[in-house]
Structure 1
Amino acid sequence: EGDEAGVRSALDRGARPEVTVPIDAGESWSLLTVAAFKGHEHLLSLLLQAGLSIEGGGTTDITPLMMAAQYGHAQTVKALLDLRGNPLAMDSRGRTALHFAALKGHQQCVAALLPVTPPTPAHLEAYTPVHLASYRGHVEVLEQLAGAGWPLTARDSDGNTPMHSAAAGGRVTCVQWLVQRGGDTSMQNNAGHTPLDKELVTAVKEGDEAGVRSALDRGARPEVTVPTNAGVSWSLLTVAASKGHEHLLSLLLQAGLSIEGGGTTDRTPLMMAAQNGHAHTVKALLDLRGNPLAMDSDGWTALHFAAWEGHQQCVAALLPVTPPTPAHLEAYTPVHAASYRGHVEVLEQLAGAGWPLTAKNSDGDTPMHCAAAGGRVTCVQWLVQRGGDTSMQNNAGLTPLDQELVTAVREGDEAGVRSALDRGARPEVTVPTNAGVSWSLLTVAASKGHEHLLSLLLQAGLSIEGGGTTDRTPLMMAAQNGHAHTVKALLDLRGNPLAMDSEGWTALHFAAWEGHQQCVAALLPVTPPTPAHLEAHTPVHVASYGGHVEVLEQLAGAGWPLTARDSDGDTPMHFAAAGGRVTCVQWLVQRGGDTSMQNNAGHTPLDQELVTAVEEGDEAGVRSALDRGARPEVTVPTNCWGVMESADCGCQQGPRAPAVSLTAGRVKHRRWRHH
């Protein structure tokens, strides 16, 4: 409230000036930032005397000076500058106080900041205050910035000049002003757009027909494409269709664009209109001869997208021109899509148009499988009422009821699990994974941290040690994913903590690898350092490679040796060095680790650090290792005729093991494979 007497009184009675204030954006501000935001310059000196920083605090990266500039408090800006607030400080997006003042058009704040914010190279390599003033149409601010030497043609990281920004903001007056001062209307940004192209793109996005006509009349190129967040580019017709601007379609087609779109996307304008529920645009595109049978790379037509989203009017418009041909029935049909999303009304439409309700996709899934996988009980019931077969199995051997059970387990839905089991779902089914192995449902539950399902699944007949084709137990999966409560529950249910996978890893290894301290704490009392565990790389090795010093403290406290060697002769210090974990190396040295100990390849930990730095192209790391005594003459053993890549080389051995015979290389390969 700017109550100076109140501030003094509260401070005198012990209020803490360092407290921060949470705001709606999820950040917190210091009290000095709050005062600057409100324009209470009379409080600044008092708060600074109380110990606050002129640069603010809390979790925000916006300084008090930025805040005052953004909200147009010119007197506060001047006061903060007098108190040595830093006008060159930048937030995480590279914006200074001058950027904020220019964005908002606060000319007095701009005037105060210009003498202390010169156009340095650091400020000119990104989005400048000139870009911001141009985008918002503040010609008066542009006059100020130009007068202070700020260039009017600087490019941001996307190659946009201020004229591009003005065009993107629809600021015609700014564009004209920049042209009068030598701006080049033909300059292209990284996407290949001139300012005039940018103006056209903005007009299309906003559905501004007059703006589109004006830009085209002045030479904007209708064939430019627009990059998207998905990494593909769209034609302007696709943009218009996705926005539902059907009034622009004929105009853009007359300008030479294709009804089927363009750019690098394989989705047509009709698909985009259908996906976004623009029924009038769908009808307009069909009237303009858009092809409803066109398919994207996944075999989806516009009808698929409409069915997926549940847009009934779009479905109604597309059904008469999208019959269930054999080509559409050999893959994922619109019926599958609607079933997975639970759109019963769309299913009614599709069934009425002759789309079969029992077609199988390439995985052997029927629409009922999809409905079950999506947890759409109403859809399953609807399909059963229309003759759907609940016993039909997909390629993985799952019935729709099995699929329902799998989905319920994945989501931790205990009621759903009970319901599926009560109706005959088979608990012994396994779930294929992306790694090419299959898991039992108990393993799935453990990996998700659903400890409340464990007893129920065990009562249904599953094994505490899992199943399927994986060699990982449920306990290992819970430990790897950091589910400490699930780890404890599995131990209480007699899960075996000493079980090992094919590479000799126990649940403790997985917990140590990921740095999950609570899981490590639960497993340590039941996983002693027995000889069997000490003949390979131990949990100490994997924690060292991951840089988990706190886990090393736990392991050492439980008696795990810090100098054990694996089959390649590597100690934990070799692992820490290979992982570039300097803190771990230092920790191990402080506890008696020997930096001169060689592995089977003749490498010391320091040599190992050097080898890793060379492999990764880390020049600073190479210099550091050499400066500390690493031997540059060490050699690196390879396999498969010296080829050092770990991908398939085309020889008859098949995909190779990691090429460099360093334990760290194998650990990394092992981790990739399992993930």
Structure 2
Amino acid sequence: MLSDVPAREVEGEEVGTFALTRDYFATDLMWAAYKGNAEEVERIIDDQPTQLGPNKGSVKIGRWVIRDGTALMIAAVRGHERVVELLVKEENGVRDSNRKTALMFAAQNGHLECIKLLLEKEGRMKDSNDKTALMFAAQNGYTECVKLLLEEEGCMQKSGGMTALMFAAEKGHTECARLLLEKEGGMRDSNGWTALMFAAYNGHTGCVRLLCERKGERDALGWTNLIYSAYFGDTNAIKSSLHEKRRADITGMTALMWAARQGHQGAVEILFEHEKEMKDKDGNTAVMHALMNKHTDIALLLRKHEGSFWTPLMNAAADGNVEAVKKYLSDKDKKNNDGETALIIAARAGHKNIVELLDPTDEDGVTALMRAADRSNLPAVRALLPLQGGQKATGDVKIGRWPICKGTALMRAAARGHAGAAKVLLEKEEGLRDSSGWTALMFAAWYGHPECVELFLEKEGGLRDNNGWTALMFAAHSGHTGCARLLLKKEGCMQRGDGMTALMFAAEKGHLECIKLLLEKEGGMRDSGGWTALMCAAKYGHSDCARLLLEREKDIKNNDRETALDVAERYGHPDCARLLCKRTSEHDVSSWTPLMRAAADGDVTTVKKYLSDKDKKNSNGDTALIIAARAGCKDIVELLDPTDKDGVTALMRAVDRNDLTTVKALAPLQGKQTATGDVKIGHWLTYRETALMRAAEKGYPECVELLLEKEGRMQRTDGWTALIAAAKEGHIECVKLLLEKEGRMQGSGGMTALMFAAQNNKIECVELLLEREGCMKDSNGKTALMWAAGNGHQKCVELLLEKEGGMQGSGGLTALMFAAQNGHTECARLLLEEEGDMRDNGKRTALDIARQLGQKKIIAILEGKGGTSGN
């Protein structure tokens, strides 16, 4: 799995057109799942549970792509039943970025046994296109999978109304359709189509015969006996049903059109005199239906009657005659009596090469369809959609002030507000995203086209781009109140990853009308830093917006204990500050000293003047140092609490005092710095450490929590980590916080946190660290058990024995040998059964070592229990 890049080819095992190796996958668990290695999967679940869950990036296996998915999904794609059985307990219900589940991947690939394992947990779920597992199975013709899924998911519909039966009919899977017919027969999509129309339109005669057996199915689509007979080319039945001529079904298709589409020349010869020049709802005549389905002889026959006023270029375009098209290219803008150009005719005939000649795709991947969408040329959009719909440009195009990054024709129509073209394009392109994760709805909202927003809202409402923005946020940011009003019900109260809301964006930009609209639903919400919309307005000095927001959000403080007044003062908006002062208690306003105000403003000269007041606090308990740090004024911080000659910063001293407020304020400015010298504080000697290491060493878990994100995984020059420091001193709460991020890291000499805990008899820490760091060795081959045994820590030996007993270090030494060497009798007793007969590289046993060193008590224990000797 590769983060934020498409799947690629690498050397290794072949899967479809892709060859995958371990490096292709984000984790060992995913690779094991891909290979179907159940034993390895089980081991990783037990030993490294952090590998469970979704991982960022895309994996392509054969023709299937899993985006931000799980090991369970990979196993489901591959059909590894045992691996699915192991992982379903851990990863069931998780969706990839297309909202697909493992069950859907199993159904898509026809893995019946995997479906049985997954159905209970993941049945009835829908992906981002509203498709179910049953729909995937039906679409791909997996009859047994359909049978299994039908009871749970039958009669479900995707947006637009498509059912599993319709998918089966569309693809011509007759047996799947037979299973689904009783439960889903007669259901319609949003255009009124039943499964019969999908089968008929795609030429699947077996499905058509099956579906027509159902009572009322033909009538629902307006199929007369004449249309039915024409579809199957039954000339005798056609002759006896001619009294039904010139009647159309719900799509506007006549008997002649169906006969032409199916290639029944005899039927066409009977019908064309009766139904010539009629058009369906998309403006297509029978000749166009013949061309679209490559029935050239029928097209030539019909063109005599329907092709009047066609230019030589149009005839060549219809026939797919490349050389003739090249000859007459100068006529490409001419139209026939129906207003059609050669481009539209070629598109309807399905001649991609002719379309490319007439209106070529450019170097940025911009297609004829995209240009038609730009012009809102509806006939061209309708004709080109089957050929070019769903394609994305390879480059970026700028419309107004914002680029569409590798986008679709629908996005271009949305950005320009061409609602008519957008409505046509929805069928093929709804729900697609550009490379930034933008949908057509987002473009419509950004550019302020409410009619387009209405079109896309049902399907695309609630989606986020790659940065977590919603369409409502874009509308609010741009000040498009009409679009925001439409989006509010579906997307109101949604927050970006950092907690920002649409109301906050409107406040930042000063869009008063949007604020009025959004205030009731989103007023009072906070982002991850505790900021409100009022603070956003104060930051940018929008006094009118602040006045409106005050009633709902006054007196709120953010995570740095700032009010909106503090924010306005910090960013230099005196008008906004004065407004907020009138609505804030006198105590809050008057409690700031001149030094505090100078610190907030970054006024170095004034700060120097009032340095003697640096320990004073305002009504919130903040000193000038805290205020300067929150304001990001590094030079003021250095004046108030300077870094000393050993590189000890204000942040480190705040940690030493366990001053959480100051630590929180200073961490963004001074995090990741290390001291340049060694400093003894109490009985601790700090050796070029970070603030996090000092917090861990002293056992201040709140400080550790504040600093972990910024300084986690940093190491001293000797490899020492914060986790090692906490484990050595036995600060269990700090160890709990640090373990996930720093577990298994080794200092110089290869020592781990578990080894330090074992060496120093920190029993609780040993118990906590054992799962993650057990069985590791230092550079001398010593394990935590050996360290515990060598130092006589009986309880630690008891904890470590099951996992590490029997391991040998450099020279073949065992934990029992270390206990014997140092005369630790109780440890020796614990280890004797497991390691009594083991020998080092010199063929010595623990008993031999005890004799050499004169450890009489150890000798007695080892001899009494039958310990052996190498002599």
State the TM-score bracket (shorter-chain normalisation).
0.3 to 0.5
* Structure with the larger helix share: 2
Structure scoring higher RCO (CA < 8 A, sep ≥ 6) equals 1
TM-score for the superposition, normalised by structure 1: 0.41
Q: Work out which of the two has the higher radius of gyration on C-alpha atoms and give 1 or 2.
A: 2
